[in-house]
Amino acid sequence: MNYPSASFGKLEEYIYLYVVHTNNNPITIQKRMKEERNAQLFRVGPCLFGTSSSIPGWKSEELIPSLSPFLLPEKEILENKSKIIFSLNIQPEKGSNEKDNSQYHQLVEFEWEGATCRISALPGTDSHLISILAPNDTKEYSAYFHSDFATGTLSLHETEADAFVLNNILMMVYAFKTACTDTVLMHASVIKKDGKGYLFLGKSGTGKSTHTRLWLENIPGCELLNDDNPIVHYNKETGETTVYGSPWSGKTPCYKDDSVPAGAFVRLEQAPENIIKKEGAARAFASLLPACSCLKAVEELNNGVIETVKLLAANLPVYHLKCLPDRAAAELSFNTIR
């Protein structure tokens, strides 16, 4: 694709401008917003985020189809009271200005799926930089964020890596911006059964997807909600914990705009026999925390995740299942935690 150069504004301010400062009806407002800004709002879990671009015909959900179930319909945008937690403006690399990144201080660097990611901060400001060197790409992508990740701009390279980079940046920033809202993005596989969601946790390679597959194959009435990155929200007013599907489900294409009250967490461990035990509050906290996405280098965000995990550990049962990859393990966990 050949993207023309463009300038961008803040999506939330743009919507506010039309909602408050025009006399047009909502349908005209949203039509104009889409025509002029190519803006989309996505409802993921209890929060909204937006993408926008003046690239002609731009739709984030076309580059990343897993976003489609979460696209907020035009008629619901003005009625929805959820806060837009962040907005990302997408622009072509051509026409974008080269920036000096030498003043940014690196907070963390990590690798995943053949990519290298660095998250940096500009000292004395609320600005951050996410840099990603994608697999089979020779040049880094740079996403510049301001107001503690509330607004950002990403330049695309017009390569196959664009989708990979955009998708992962949206996932990371969602985790950062929800960290202080009693919401966490968890590394887990989730089964829906009898109106509740059961989350299976464990290190990569432990067998989370295998265990949930055994539930699907051997326990009637089960449904997979998400296989890698569900969203968990604790409501302090009601005391209820809700688990949501998300656009991020690892290698399993399970992208459901659905939610269910959480029933229990189960930490998996490979073993020569099947044994399950309910954990006390302290051990439960230690089991849940490593499964939560977090930017530990930013104290406020790290503390937000810790406080949410405390609430989850204190209000929901957490089990430790040592197991084989067999039917008996699925039946044991089901009969214990239901």
pLDDT for 122-155, tens place per residue?
A: 999 999 999 999 988 889 999 999 999 999 999 9
Residue 96 has what pLDDT? Answer: 61
Residue 182 has what pLDDT? Answer: 97
Beta bridge partners of 17: none
Give the pLDDT confidence of 261-291 residue by residue, as tens digits: 999 999 999 999 999 999 999 999 999 999 9
Mean pLDDT of the chain: 88
Q: Give the model's confidence band at 38: pLDDT under 50 very low, under 70 low, under 90 confident, else very high.
A: confident
pLDDT higher than 90, residue 19: no
Q: Angle CA(317)–CA(319)–CA(320) in degrees, nearest 5?
A: 165
pLDDT higher than 90, residue 318: yes
- Report if pTM > 0.95: no
Coil, strand or helix at 132: strand
Mean pLDDT of 176-203: 97
Mean pLDDT of 234-245: 97
Residue 37 has what pLDDT? Answer: 62
Give the pLDDT confidence of 55-90 residue by residue, as tens digits: 888 999 999 999 999 999 877 776 666 678 999 999
Residues in the chain, overall count: 338
- The residue ranges of DSSP E strands in the chain, in sequence order, are 40-44, 47-52, 84-92, 105-112, 115-121, 128-133, 141-146, 151-156, 183-185, 188-193, 196-201, 223-226, 231-235, 240-244, 259-270, 275-278, 318-323
Residue 23 has what pLDDT? Answer: 40
Of 187, 269, 172, whose CA–CA distance to 231 is shortest?
187
